[in-house]
Structure 1
Amino acid sequence: MTQSRLRPTTALRKLLADGTFLHMPAVYDALGGRLVESLGFEAAYVGGYVTGGSKAVTEPLLTMTEQVGLAHDVATAIDIPVVVDAGAGFGEPLHTMRTVREFIDKGIAGVHIEDQLYPKRAHYHTYVAHAVPTEEFVQKIEFAARERDARDPDFVIIARSDTCRFFGVEEAIGRVNKAARVGADYGLIFPRNEDEAEQAVKLSDVPLVYVQSRGNRDGRPIISRDDLKSMGYVACIEAQVMLCSAFHFLKECLTELRETGDYTGISGEDFVRARKDVEDLIRLEEYYEVERATVEKGETV
């Protein structure tokens, strides 16, 4: 059986068991997912930051339905596993159980669940950690794991703690380790420097995922994939690379177009190539084949 025919959850588990380092760009639409897959990435990620940004609101204002819906759009368009930001589980333990169930039923391979207050506040983006007590976080992970075990034992649960920013790596990893004892498969924290990034792996009872926060304003380090692998991380989430890069270059494009009435940033040949690449990614030729065999059959121009 090939990986593409496995359940997404099983495929993700197999990749991690085989020692594949997962470098996961955060996508916010199905076309972006197709692009990530076409370039050889083994998994994709749907983050709260990019979903909130793409909807012109913010992650703390997202509903579970919005995040599940966008993640489902991506997951159904690609054959690689999708990992999703499930925020604070969208509520208390009972709500978190439904969150896990919804993501499993929509073909998602895994989620991370954090120890933030719910509903989250917009001030989260100022790096304020509105952390709930450890016991509340652990209980939420415990019931998320219970729902996973009943629904699909291969579904991956990542315990995320945001407390490192204010209380240090030992507090954050302590929370992850307690979450691991009740069923979390992996951990995720936000080290403030490279020393903490290295220390975290040594202190954690479960493998860790790193979040590459490009454009951050709190000084969190950008660490290369090779260095993360050397430290012992098993995956890296590229949280803003696609959304912010697209925004940057689109802003340049539209500024020139508005000011001059023309756009010269891409040559005519490159536009032809890009347009064809988009058509290939959406598999337009497959649609042509169906129409040639049916509604276009025998018609002449």
Structure 2
Amino acid sequence: MQTLKALIEKSDPVITTLVSNPLMAKLAEQAGFNALYLGGGMLGYTKVFLEANLNITDLVQIGIEIRSASQLPLILDGATGFGDPMHMHRTIPFAESAGFEAIEIEDQIIPKRAHHHADIEHMIPQQLMEEKIKESINARRNNDFLIIARTNGIRSTSLSDALDRGKAYKDAGADVLMLSPRNREELLAISNNLEGPFQLLVPNGGLTSLETDRNELGSLGFKIIIDASQPMLVALRAWKTFYETMDDNFQSPMLSKEDASYWSEELKNVVELQKLLEIETRTVEK
């Protein structure tokens, strides 16, 4: 299994998707994704107290569970890094020890606020973020572990400020930059003015709003492309529809008896139940 660092050195971008638990990781791996992304935003929604209330221990525990089910490179959405420069000397070793191959750290205030989800963000001074990046590098024990520096400057201040911050963060030693373009003009501005590689979170609805495709993105330096929300939105729609349509006989138009039988077997296949049964047959079920 190649490391994430090795994958981003290739010409093709690394196609990555959101996972919040081991089952999602197994499904993504079997579907052919190159890497996995533990996103704080959707995990916070899952726990119904938002990303602002997550801590590094929460994320590390889930990371360990995911890594136990899949060997694909796993990226951690590390929010603000959970502290100042000094605190990176706990956050980074924690993430490395849990099996993550990269951590995304953004330049927002600590603690994060719920208003982040209303597109109101409060950014820390550029110099402070530079110091957090430098200490993240000092704290890592494996040079293959990537530091992804994220700035929300495009939507919080200006494109110009975001580009200035991106350059400063790269100069501070960040391995990958993330600037979140909203349209093709901003996408090209990032590629033309900064040194990659870059990470991109795909907007809801796909790449249409950016007027690009994965092949062009790779040539522009966007080497990690992540769908960080749609898997959870699809699941949310399914859960909500099923709960609202289930009748007194515990039936729903979403799932026939035949469908239920098929997906029950598929679930067993995903978790490789047969392999475990064979182990028991050889050992304790003789």
Query: Which TM-score applies when normalising by structure 1?
Result: 0.88
- Residue of structure 1 equivalent to 2:15: 23
* 2:88 equivalent to 1:96: yes
SS in 2 for 1:36: helix
CA contact (8 A) 1:212 1:222 kept: no
- Residue of structure 1 equivalent to 2:187: 197
Which of 139, 155, 167 lines up with 2:145 in the alignment? 155
CA distance in 2, matches of 1:97, 1:112: 15
Q: Structure 1 pair 158/70, CA: closer, same or farther in 2 (3 Å)?
A: same
Task: Trace 1:259-298 onto structure 2 (pairs within 5 A).
Answer: 261-297=250-286
Task: Trace 1:43-192 onto structure 2 (pairs within 5 A).
Answer: 43-148=35-140, 151-192=141-182
1:239 shift after superposition: 1.4
CA contact (8 A) 1:212 1:223 kept: no
| Bigger Cα displacement from structure 2, 226-235 vs 17-26 | 226-235
1:197 shift after superposition: 1.4
CA contact (8 A) 2:204 2:229 kept: yes
Which of 205, 226, 244 lines up with 2:233 in the alignment? 244
Aligned length: 284
SS in 1 for 2:246: helix
Q: Structure 1 pair 71/128, CA: closer, same or farther in 2 (3 Å)?
A: same
| Bigger Cα displacement from structure 2, 169-178 vs 266-275 | 266-275
CA distance in 1, matches of 2:76, 2:234: 20
Deviations 1:132-186 (A, max 9, x none): 00000010001001112xx101101111001110322221122122111222111
CA distance in 2, matches of 1:73, 1:25: 17
1:25 shift after superposition: 1.1
Percent of counterpart pairs with the same letter?
29
1:226 shift after superposition: 4.2
Give 1:52's aligned amino acid: G
| Bigger Cα displacement from structure 2, 58-67 vs 204-213 | 204-213
* 2:192 equivalent to 1:211: no
Give 1:144's aligned amino acid: S
1:223 shift after superposition: 5.6
Query: Which TM-score applies when normalising by structure 2?
Result: 0.93
Structure 1 gap ranges (5+):
none
CA RMSD, Structure 1 to Structure 2 (Å): 2.0
CA distance in 1, matches of 2:9, 2:221: 14
| Bigger Cα displacement from structure 2, 166-175 vs 176-185 | 166-175
Deviations 1:218-247 (A, max 9, x none): xx7586434533544112111111111100
- Residue of structure 2 equivalent to 1:228: 217
1:254 shift after superposition: 1.5
CA distance in 2, matches of 1:68, 1:266: 35
1:261 shift after superposition: 3.9
Give 1:161's aligned amino acid: T
CA distance in 1, matches of 2:108, 2:58: 19
CA contact (8 A) 1:211 1:236 kept: yes
